[in-house]
C-alpha cells in the first residue's frame, strides 16, 4: 500500500485496538496483527505505538528484518509536515 499519513494521524493509531502504527525511517507499519508473534515481545512494541521507532528498531534489528516484513506490515509513508 502507498497511503500517506501525517505524524498526527499515525499518533492516533497508538494501541492494538486501533492498529498500533509505528514509523521506521519515514515508512508506516501497522503492527496490531504482529504484536503477539514479535520475537522481541508485545510490550516493547506497544510502548512505541503511534510513534517514530526508528532509533529503537535499528538498535535491535538489521535491514533483512525490515525487508522480510515490509510486504506484510507496511501501510504507507509519512508525509512531510511542511507540505500540509
Ligand atoms: C516492523 C517492525 C518490527 C519487526 C518486523 C520486528 C521483528 C523482529 C524480529 C523478526 C525479531 C527476531 C530477531 C531478528 O530476527 O533479528 C525481533 C526481535 C526484537 N525486536 Fe523487533 N521488530 C519490529 C519492531 C521493533 C521495535 C520498534 C522494537 C523496539 C521498540 C523492537 C524490539 C525488539 C527486541 C528487543 C527484540 C529482541 C532482540 C534480541 O533478542 O536480541 N522491535 N523483532
Say what percent of the chain tops pLDDT 70.
93
Average pLDDT over residues 49-77: 98
Distance of CA 57 from the midpoint of ligand 1 (Å): 7
Nearest to 11 by CA among 57, 45, 49, 54: 49
Which residue, judged by its Cα, is nearest atom 16 of ligand 1?
A: 61
Residue 58 placed within a domain = yes
Model confidence pLDDT, tens digit, residues 7-46: 999 999 999 999 999 999 999 999 999 999 999 999 999 9
Kindly report the CATH number assigned to the domain that includes residue 17: 3.10.120.10
pLDDT of residue 80: 72
Cα first-last separation, the chain: 21
pLDDT of residue 81: 64
pLDDT of residue 36: 97
- Domain count for the chain: 1
Residue 84 placed within a domain = no
Q: Is the CB of 61 under 6 A from ligand 1?
A: yes
pTM: 0.93
Residue 74 placed within a domain = yes
Residue 66 placed within a domain = yes
In angstroms, the CA 79 to CA 36 distance is: 29
b/e for 23-54, b at 16 or more Cβ within 10 A? bbeebbbbbbeebeeeeeeeeebeebbbebbe
Residue 29 placed within a domain = yes
* Residue 7 in grid coordinates: 505524524
Residue 28 placed within a domain = yes
**Residue-number span of the structural domain to which 18 is assigned:** 3-79
In angstroms, the CA 68 to CA 82 distance is: 31
Say what percent of the chain tops pLDDT 90.
92
Amino acid at each position: 500500500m502507498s497511503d500517506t499519513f501525517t505524524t498526527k494521524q499515525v499518533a492516533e493509531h497508538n494501541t492494538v485496538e486501533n492498529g498500533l502504527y509505528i514509523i521506521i525511517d519515514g515508512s508506516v507499519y501497522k503492527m496490531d496483527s504482529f504484536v503477539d508473534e514479535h520475537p522481541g515481545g508485545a510490550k516493547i512494541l506497544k510502548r512505541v505505538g503511534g510513534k517514530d521507532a526508528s532509533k529503537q528498531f535499528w538498535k535491535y534489528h538489521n535491514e533483512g528484518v525490515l525487508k522480510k516484513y515490509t510486504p506484510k506490515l507496511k501501510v504507507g509513508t509519512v508525509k512531510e509536515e511542511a507540505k500540509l
